[in-house]
Structure 1
Amino acid sequence: MRTQQTLRTRLVESPTSYGGRRRAERAAWLRRTFPDLAEMTVLDIGGRVESWTGADVRPARVHVVNLEPPRTQIPDWVEVDHADACELPPEIRSRRYDLVFSNSVLEHVGGHERRRRMAEAVRELAPRYWVQTPYRYFPIEPHWIAPGMQFLPVAARAALARRWPLSHTPAQGWQDSMAQVLATELIGRAELRFLFPEAEIRAERLLGLSKSLIAVRTG
């Protein structure tokens, strides 16, 4: 198991891995898209404090909303709330930000109707946004690093999740594996365009294939 997790770390999780380099490139793309990022107030839906404290350029203010507790000390320019991205409380929905940011969250919120609610909140809360999600039709499922896994029936995905050596969090039995796969639903370009009709849909590519999609509105 340690060897398998070490391989996953080398592939996608360490800063020098392919995944780490892609995250750095995506952060640079964000900075180029929003050159005044350092002056912005940003709502990060489903993000983590450490993603911003370690960034080359940080916004003036960041409000992180997540269902998980923060893993690190919170600096004075960051605000953290425990909330559901699809059911934001009125005290958050009543606010306005310069930018809403979300990275690899949309595919985990639980079905199209909940994705629609999250998209509605994103579009209301700021005139600009950046919403990234893995692309359904890339041949490798990114959470398990498993070829074609997203196209299998649910039961087959759950069976694979229990045994696949490169999973992020190895499943502890059938119920756990089912919960994991049902909580991960990759989407395609057509749905993303439907959710964010005024956005530019950008693609991150690997070997000429779209690996992830980003719905971007610059103003």
Structure 2
Amino acid sequence: MALHSLRFRLVDSPTPLGAKRRARRAAWLSHTFPNLAEMTVLDLGGRVESWAGVPVRPARVHVVNLEPLPAALPDWAEADHADACELPERILNRRYDLVFSNSVLEHVGGHERRRRMAEAIRALAPAYWVQTPYRYFPIEPHWVAPGMQFLPVSARVVVARRWPLAYTPGKSYEAAMRQVLTTELIGRAELRYLFPDATVRNERLAGLTKSLIAVRA
């Protein structure tokens, strides 16, 4: 499954609320990194088009994803088809100013793979910004289903197949199981363990922490 195929719906949905929250996050990013326009950025699990309309665009963006590569790229971007937890040497041997990842850490497949991704992030640049939905927000964000993340796997598969607010209700058992098993929300303690040199910020909705952002500026 592509790292980008399940997105944080309460943030990245194509609605006015989603657009507002994307703009707020972009403002946070440019405020945290005042030299963003001069930086080279490695985006793990993102898309080139996500950077095209931001108020402040980095000088160079290198996107790494498991999706097929774009047919054409702007002159400020490059793209690689690769696993963020098993980056090839051609990427590991490079250095960037900033590593960025948005709603990907919860999809890579278990703690050990999250640990490997975190190690690469911390080694590839002096600064990073890693956002992930918060496990203890009352609504599971990918399916917009209350408390779904706390259910047994079999019950989550039923929700993934039948819940009307899911992107594609009615999917096959195999597809639902694959998505459920590759969507594992994490809490603050694990994020601090993975990124011990980070400041952890709260992104809130209705006063509740909706997502966490590990930042090393």
Q: TM-score, normalised by structure 1?
A: 0.91
The number of aligned residues is 209
Which residue number in structure 1 is paired with residue 33 of structure 2?
34
Letter paired with 1:77: W
Answer with 52-61 or 42-51: which moved more: 52-61
- Which ranges of structure 1 fall in alignment gaps of 5 or more residues? 1-8
Distance 1:10 1:31 in 2: 22
Distance 1:169 1:188 in 2: 27
Distance 1:143 1:96 in 2: 32
Deviation track 1:162-198 (CA, whole Å, cap 9, x = no partner) reads 0011112335211111111101000000000000000
- Which ranges of structure 2 fall in alignment gaps of 5 or more residues? 1-8
Deviation track 1:124-158 (CA, whole Å, cap 9, x = no partner) reads 00000000000000000000001000000000000
Which residue number in structure 2 is paired with residue 92 of structure 1?
91
Letter paired with 2:139: I
Runs of 4+ aligned residues of structure 1 deviating over 4 Å after TM superposition are: 9-12
Question: Compared with structure 1, are the counterparts of its residues 11 and 36 closer, same or farther at alpha carbon in structure 2 (3 Å cutoff)?
Answer: closer
Q: CA deviation at 1:203?
A: 0.5
Cα RMSD of the aligned pairs, angstroms, is 1.6
Distance 1:20 1:31 in 2: 17
The percent of aligned pairs where both chains have the same amino acid is 73
Q: TM-score, normalised by structure 2?
A: 0.92
Answer with 181-190 or 161-170: which moved more: 161-170
Q: CA deviation at 1:19?
A: 2.3
Q: Show the 5 A alignment for 1:48-59.
A: 48-59=47-58
Distance 1:93 1:10 in 2: 33
Q: CA deviation at 1:107?
A: 0.2
